[in-house]
Amino acid sequence: MSVEIERRVAEYYAEKLRAHGATHRGVDWSTPESHMLRHEQFLRILRPGDSVLDYGCGYGSLGEYLEAGGLPLRYQGYDVASEMVAAARERHAARRDWRFTSERDELEPADVAIASGIFNVKVDTPAERWCEYTLGTIRDMAALARRGLGFNMLTSYSDTDRMEDRLYYGDPRFYFDWCKRNLSRHVALLHDYGLFEFTILVRFDA
């Protein structure tokens, strides 16, 4: 079932990329400012010199943001949409030390794994099945991360009249509790940065 979910997600984002190119709209964010604001939340879990796995990398925007902020890092990007990976490789062709792939088996462990936006668009997947998929993905990220992980998600506290059926709105209490019980005692929930979403940061070390 997860293979079918990933196929539909890949098709969705490939269509966005074809329509809008390697831009914030090409990865389905509403504005450049909101795109960068999401990246900013992950700074709390990163240290200079970290290796970073961008799980659902799109065209590599997170790597660009971190590099522009002067945070030295080793970066690899993974995306289920092969078109996104092709765009990332073309855009960052000069970065020989950055790797992009759409093959899960090619991923190497990293200090920190980050997923931004990959849990939002469920298309027509039932919400309960999508929740299972998110937890499986978070487990996979944890298996690849040595020091910690971070992810964001649209919040169930969003205004009801603005919710869309194709999107998934997670309960931040559920995900916080699940991470505390299954991944680490060191979990932070960020729900105060002005968007209808939340970010969770999990540290495996204190």
The pLDDT mean for the chain works out to 90
CATH number of the domain to which 182 belongs: 3.40.50.150
Q: How many whole angstroms separate alpha carbon 107 and alpha carbon 117?
A: 19
User: pLDDT tens, 13-40?
Assistant: 777 777 877 776 666 666 778 878 999 9
Q: Band of the pLDDT at 72, cuts 50, 70, 90?
A: low
Q: How many whole angstroms separate alpha carbon 157 and alpha carbon 28?
A: 21
pLDDT of 192 reads: 96
Q: What angle do CA 77, 83, 86 make, to 5 degrees?
A: 60
User: pLDDT tens, 141-176?
Assistant: 999 999 999 999 999 999 998 899 999 999 999 999
CB 88 within 8 A of CB 60: yes
Both tokens assigned to 95: 């970065």
More confident residue, 30 or 135: 135
pLDDT of 190 reads: 98
Q: What angle do CA 51, 52, 54 make, to 5 degrees?
A: 160
Q: Which residues does residue 196 pair with via DSSP β-bridges, in sequence order?
A: none
Domain count, the chain: 1
Q: Which residues does residue 200 pair with via DSSP β-bridges, in sequence order?
A: 151, 189
Q: How many whole angstroms separate alpha carbon 135 and alpha carbon 35?
A: 23
Domain of 97 in residue numbering reads as: 2-203
Residue whose entry in the numeric block shows the structure tokens 């796995």: 53
pLDDT of 100 reads: 96
Residue 97, H or E segment: none
- What pTM, to 2 d.p., does this model score? 0.91
